[in-house]
């Protein structure tokens, strides 16, 4: 399947498929014509010596400094060099690849005055997996992600580094091996390449994918913990949630009803006399559901940004250019911070369920092991969830609440959305481990309910984990178990396999909630 840049609507799913090589991104005839026309507009501006920011002026506070026609090309080369000031570890190659994909989508709409060969070269990098090395720190999220984007496009002019055969190499060593020559940038191109939100956006794309997987996993794992703790499904009644109809809460309640359907464990304690479960069990629709709503908001805004033009100035024609602020990262910075809190809360409530499983109540052995004293059981894995939850809390300060003026006050309000995007993915890193520990604990606990069985779906989830990690009759190096189960969360295989099993039984866990799908 082909995706036509600048013509088709880019979605989170499509961006991910192109990055994985499962979908080919191409320039259609229509896009090529628009790109060529926009390039000609810039040539006409230079020929007429009409003053337009970034074409024949300096940048930022130097906007009023004129640049001679013969220096307009040199200016674009220099901007990539001068703005390459990133520091810190490099970002994952997949995120850098997403930056290139999303930049092509923005430039291919024909409002930036770039050369066709420049876009073709970026697409070549994507298709051949020659991905630039981009430092993780240095963007303030306005005027665009200047530093990371400058590093991203240094290889176009033969500078910087690229991942080649999986490891970083100097670009000037790699391109000759592939018989590729550096490009000579045209007027406005350097500015068009570094203006935009593609660093923030690409971290948002990854967060939308990863957080969706965690939310799906949290419902399944939470249902398993509920079963192990002989909780009730009454709080998930559809009639209750119709009285407070938040979409996220309704979805989670529906999923829990289906996940617990026909459970023999649930039936075994129907008359136990327990009035109410703790909040971490009873309020899963409200807590998980609120995080679902935050995720949906981020997804919707991310997909607007995926199809937006975030350059400055915008070239409508040789006579009509607009200098504005579409590069400002605030529209994504705020929902990224909101999603950060939402992801952290899923970890908070998961840790509480881990703790409940250890208390030795409702028929479970203390610390989920019969012979404790000599053995510590599952006491210490919960220390790890407590540590990760606290670390996530420290990451919840909203980066978008801060702003530091740059460019001698010309850029006097910035979004810091680049920090928001990186922090959200750090929180998700921790969340995946927290969920893995709850899943490990729930699988251990549910075996103490035998001979009763849970629902078909939850028994499948339990058995799937048991293919990788066995029951613990005594202490062992639990870090190995945690890492093994965390891999099942991180690579989406746990959720994907449970969903595939549900589909084989004609059960759709997200029925009637298409907006929450990727």
The distance from CA 36 to its chain's CA centroid, rounded to whole angstroms, is 33
DSSP 365: P
Q: How deeply is 190 buried, as exposed, middle or buried, from its count of CB atoms within 10 A (0-12, 13-18, 19+)?
A: buried
Instruction: Give the CA dihedral 454, 250, 494, 486, nearest 10 degrees.
Output: -100
CB 282 within 8 A of CB 276: yes
Here the tokens at position 499 are: 């969903």
Q: State residue 352 phi and psi, 5-degree precision.
A: -65, -35
Query: Are the CB atoms for 191 and 135 separated by under 8 Å?
Result: no
CA dihedral (393, 399, 402, 408) positive or negative? positive
Residue 172 has phi, psi (to 5 degrees) of -70, -15
Cβ atoms of 171 and 302 closer than 8 Å? no
Residues 6+ apart with CB under 8 A from 126: 18, 25, 97, 100, 101, 104
How far is residue 501's CA from residue 513's CA, in Å, rounded to a whole number?
A: 19
Q: What is the DSSP letter of 243?
A: T
Query: 500 exposed, middle or buried (CB, 10 Å; 0-12, 13-18, 19+)?
Result: exposed
Distance CA 302, CA 424 (A): 14
Tokens 């023999």 found at: 264
Please count the residues of the chain. 518
Q: What is the β-pairing status of strands 2-5 and 131-132?
A: unpaired
Give the containing element (helix H, strand E) for 140: none
Residue with tokens 């971490």: 280
Q: Round to whole Å and give the CA distance between 332 and 201.
A: 8
Residue 336 CB contacts under 8 Å (≥ 6 apart), including other chains: 200, 203, 204, 207, 298, 400, 417, 420, 421, 423, 424
Determine which one of 5, 53, 433, 452 is catalytic.
Answer: 53
CB 254 within 8 A of CB 238: yes
452 is catalytic: no
Q: How far from chain centre, in Å, is Cα 27?
A: 26
How far is 418 from 138, CA to CA, in rounded Å? 9
Q: How far apart are the first and last CA of the chain?
A: 18
Enumerate the active-site residues.
53
């Amino acid at each position: 399947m082909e995706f036509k840049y600048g013509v088709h609507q880019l979605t989170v799913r499509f961006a991910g498929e192109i990055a994985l090589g499962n979908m080919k991104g191409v320039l259609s005839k229509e896009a090529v014509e628009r790109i060529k026309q926009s390039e000609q507009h810039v040539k006409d501006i230079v020929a007429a010596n009409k003053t337009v920011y970034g074409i024949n002026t300096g940048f930022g506070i130097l906007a009023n400094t004129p640049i001679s026609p013969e220096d307009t090309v040199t200016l674009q080369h220099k901007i990539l060099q001068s703005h390459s000031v990133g520091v810190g570890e490099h970002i994952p190659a997949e995120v850098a690849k997403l930056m290139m994909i999303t930049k092509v989508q923005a430039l291919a709409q024909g409002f930036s005055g770039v050369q066709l060969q420049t876009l073709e070269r970026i697409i070549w990098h994507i298709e051949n997996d020659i991905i630039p090395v981009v430092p993780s720190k240095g963007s303030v999220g306005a005027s665009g992600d200047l530093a990371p984007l400058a590093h991203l496009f240094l290889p176009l002019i033969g500078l910087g580094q690229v991942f080649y055969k999986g490891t970083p190499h100097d670009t000037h060593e790699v391109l000759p091996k592939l018989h590729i020559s550096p490009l000579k940038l045209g007027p406005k191109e350097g500015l068009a390449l570094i203006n935009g939100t593609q660093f923030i956006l690409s971290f948002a794309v990854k967060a939308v994918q990863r957080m969706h997987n965690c939310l799906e996993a949290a419902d399944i794992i939470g249902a398993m913990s509920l079963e192990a703790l002989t909780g009730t499904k009454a709080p998930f009644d559809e009639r209750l949630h119709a009285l407070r109809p938040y979409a996220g809460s309704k979805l989670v309640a529906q999923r829990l009803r289906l996940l617990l359907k026909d459970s023999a464990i649930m039936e075994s304690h129907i008359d136990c006399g327990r009035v109410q479960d703790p909040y971490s069990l009873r309020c899963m629709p409200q807590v998980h559901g609120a995080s679902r709503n935050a995720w949906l908001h981020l997804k919707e805004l991310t997909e607007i940004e995926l199809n937006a033009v975030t350059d400055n100035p915008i070239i409508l024609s040789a006579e009509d250019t607009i200098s504005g602020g579409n590069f400002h990262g605030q529209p994504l910075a705020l929902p990224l911070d909101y999603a950060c809190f939402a992801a952290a809360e899923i970890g908070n409530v998961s840790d509480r369920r881990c703790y409940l499983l250890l208390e030795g109540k409702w028929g479970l052995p203390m610390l989920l092991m019969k012979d404790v004293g000599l053995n510590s059981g599952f006491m210490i894995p919960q220390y790890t969830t407590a540590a990760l939850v606290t670390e996530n809390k420290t990451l919840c300060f909203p980066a978008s609440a801060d702003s530091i003026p740059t460019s001698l006050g010309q850029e006097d309000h910035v979004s810091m959305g680049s920090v928001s995007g990186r922090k959200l993915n750090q929180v998700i890193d921790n969340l995946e481990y927290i969920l893995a520990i709850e899943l490990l604990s729930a699988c251990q606990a549910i075996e103490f309910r035998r001979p009763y069985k849970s629902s078909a779906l939850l028994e499948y989830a339990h058995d799937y984990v048991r293919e990788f990690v066995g029951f613990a009759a005594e202490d062992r190096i639990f870090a190995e178990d945690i890492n093994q189960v965390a891999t099942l969360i991180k690579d989406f295989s746990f959720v994907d396999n449970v969903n595939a099993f549900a589909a084989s039984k004609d059960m759709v866990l997200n029925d009637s909630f298409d907006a929450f799908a990727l």
